[in-house]
Amino acid sequence: MGQGSKWLTRAVQGLRSFAYAGNGERPKVGLALGGGFARGIAHIGVLRVLEENEIPVDYIAGTSVGALIAATYASGTSLETMELHGSETTFRDFGRWTLSRMGMASNDRLELFLHKFTTVNDFSELKRPLSIVATDIIAGESVYFTDGQIGPALRASCAYPGLFLPVEYRGRILVDGFLTEAVPSPAARKMGAEVVIGVHLEPGLIGGRPRNTIEVISRSFSIIQIGAIQPWRAATDILIEPNVHHVLWDEFAKTPELVAAGEAATREALPRIRAALARQPMPYAGPERRAMRRF
């Protein structure tokens, strides 16, 4: 039985080498996880299907809740543990109401929330390369964190404007990364990914009246993004979009439904992922040059 298993393993590796173009080495794969509050739990389902189908993830990048999932996964935490804590999450786990002209709440508890999953504190302790994306609200540009302490970078990436206070870190005033990269595919490219799988959690426009100020802000940003130019799409080879648009920002209790949505969307994308891995990777030209190529 042992010899048969070894033979099968060698056969599979041989088939993969034949499939990968060029010198037989597969392209480096980057996974870019977008933001979406509770909808981000769908990322767990995405990761599960990738694991089950042995799709490699060499680099992982995250924006907002995608940064939390990415950091936790990069630390080596199991998907089962992540799903368990996801279903138990409440706003108090990561948010604290406060009086300020800059926001309604602080997300300083997010650093402690991360430690519910892992004891890792620094990027250097992670098991795979990670990039956390935030937005410099003064310069209006993406900021990529790949070293140092994870906590401050994570808080910055999750500092949703109007709700959470901006985070001052490394001489910058930072807010949620979704403003510049709703899906951090450019971050994955910068790390060296040749094939980028992006996960976009489209919020949609839920019918009915907003329940509170947070939903007014959230729906406003959703409307802006619908008509905005989104350069991250040019850096994405395969886009996965779980059907989670009907889930509200704080519906963590819907964890099983969200995980299932991530699984279903990823299974649907598997043929496209495998096809991308079988092709010779092309160098990323950037959004400007790619746009020029269309003409």
* Cα 268 from chain centroid (whole Å): 19
Say how far apart CA 82 and CA 72 lie, in whole Å: 8
Among the listed residues 176, 185, 218, 237, the single catalytic one is 176
DSSP 8-class letter at 91: G
58 catalytic per annotation: no
Say how far apart CA 32 and CA 43 lie, in whole Å: 10
Burial of 11 (0-12, 13-18, 19+ CB in 10 A): exposed
237 catalytic per annotation: no
Is-contact 135 64, C-beta < 8 A? no
Terminal C-alpha separation, the chain: 58
What tokens appear for 3 in the block?
A: 């010899």
Can you tell me which residue has the tokens 């504190």? 121
Among the listed residues 58, 64, 75, 185, the single catalytic one is 64
Identity at 161, one-letter amino acid code:
P
Is-contact 277 27, C-beta < 8 A? yes
Active-site residue list: 64, 176
